[in-house]
Amino acid sequence: MNPPSLFTAARNVFMRDLTIALRRSTDVLTPLMFFLIVVTLFPLGVGPEANLLRTMAPGVIWVAALLATMLSLGRLFSNDYADGTLEQLALAPHPLPLLVLAKVCAHWVLTGLPLVAMSPLLALQLNLEPRQMATLVTTLLLGTPVLSLLGSIGAALTLGLRGGGVLVSLLVLPLYTPILIFGAGAVSARAFGLDAEAHLSLLAAFLILGAVFAPWAAAAALRISLD
């Protein structure tokens, strides 16, 4: 029997990850609840002053989204590594980087996309104006996939190591910093009436570069971890 086409194989990997994650709802809900709790408790800590909340809101939401994404990176490859599925993917007749990209897409759908969907409500709580809110959602749509792509490299490099969660944080946090700066900076620029297109263009460039190069780097790291 002929092996499935590349598109079919990638779709099967994507759907498999979604199905397994939805059966383990706790793994999916934990980062989302973390994101919700951090942003919701923030006004209680700094006070209800509207202008202060509006000024700090972009950074707060983006930092919470970044930490929530890091919190979910541990399940990207670890379960497949434990049950031998990852070895089967590495031996498949299809390019491993494209199968890794399918897994990263599933990770973003389960983690990044819900964060984007929740952000308008949390932005409203932090007194963001509609124009800033639209910019925030746009930056998260462009930036959260980059967080998943870059995080896949760190998750692959630390696969099977003790204390892998801490090591992932140390590896990916420097890579996340530019995304955080430009993501929060776009919303802040909009608040001061400035043009945010430069920030959005840079986030789009990071997304394109990440989609092209990150799966290959993660696949190479996975092969090293499996050897």
Q: Is 93 within the bounds of a domain?
A: yes
Low-confidence ranges of the chain (pLDDT < 50): none
pTM for the whole thing?
0.93
Tell me, what's the pLDDT at 3? 66
Q: Which of 221, 83, 57, 55 is nearest to 150 (CA)?
A: 221
Q: Is 1 within the bounds of a domain?
A: no
Output the six-digit token pair for 115. 């964060």
Tell me, what's the pLDDT at 82? 82
Tell me, what's the pLDDT at 116? 95
Tell me, what's the pLDDT at 163? 61
Tell me, what's the pLDDT at 215? 95
Q: Is 184 within the bounds of a domain?
A: yes
* Structural domains counted in the chain: 1
Instruction: Provide the 8-state DSSP code for 77.
Output: T
Q: For residue range 44-97, what is the model confidence (pLDDT) as tens digits? A: 887 778 788 888 889 999 999 999 999 888 888 888 888 888 888 888 888 999
| Chain center to CA of 33 | 15
Give me the domain span that covers residue 221. Answer: 6-226
Burial zone of 134 (CB within 10 Å; 0-12 exposed, 13-18 middle, 19+ buried): middle
Tell me, what's the pLDDT at 87? 87
Q: Is 178 within the bounds of a domain?
A: yes
Q: Is 197 within the bounds of a domain?
A: yes
Tell me, what's the pLDDT at 106? 94
Q: Is the dihedral of CA 66, 201, 221, 104 positive or negative?
A: positive
Query: From the DSSP assignment, how many helices (H) and strands (E) are in the chain?
Result: 10, 0
